[in-house]
Structure 1
Amino acid sequence: MDDATRDKLINYLGSFVTAARAAKVQQVLEKRTRHIAVVMEDFENSLNVSAVLRSCEAMGVQDVHIIENQFRNKLSAYVAKGGSKWLTVTKHNELESTNSSRCLQLLRDAGYQIWVTSPDQSAVDLNDVGVDSKIALVFGTEFDGASKEVLEMADKRVCLPMQGFTESYNVSVSVALCLHVLLRKLKDSEIDWCMSEEEKKQLTLEWYRKIVRRSDIHEVRFLSGI
Structure 2
Amino acid sequence: MMANLFSSFDPSTNLGLSLNWSSVLIGLMIIPPMFWLVPSRINYLWIMIISNLNKEFKILIGNNNSKGSTLIFVSLFSFILFNNFLGLFPYIFTSTSHMTLTLTLALPLWLSFMIYGWINNTIHMFAHLVPQGTPPVLMPFMVCIETISNIIRPGTLAVRLSANMIAGHLLMTLLGNTGSSLTLMTVNFLIITQILLLILESAVSIIQSYVFAVLSTLYSSEVN
Normalised to the residue count of structure 1, the TM-score between the two structures is: 0.24
Q: Which has the higher helix share?
A: 2
Normalised to the residue count of structure 2, the TM-score between the two structures is: 0.25
Q: Which has the higher strand share?
A: 1
Tell me which of the two structures has the higher relative contact order, counting C-alpha pairs closer than 8 angstroms and 6 or more residues apart: 2
Larger Rg belongs to = 2
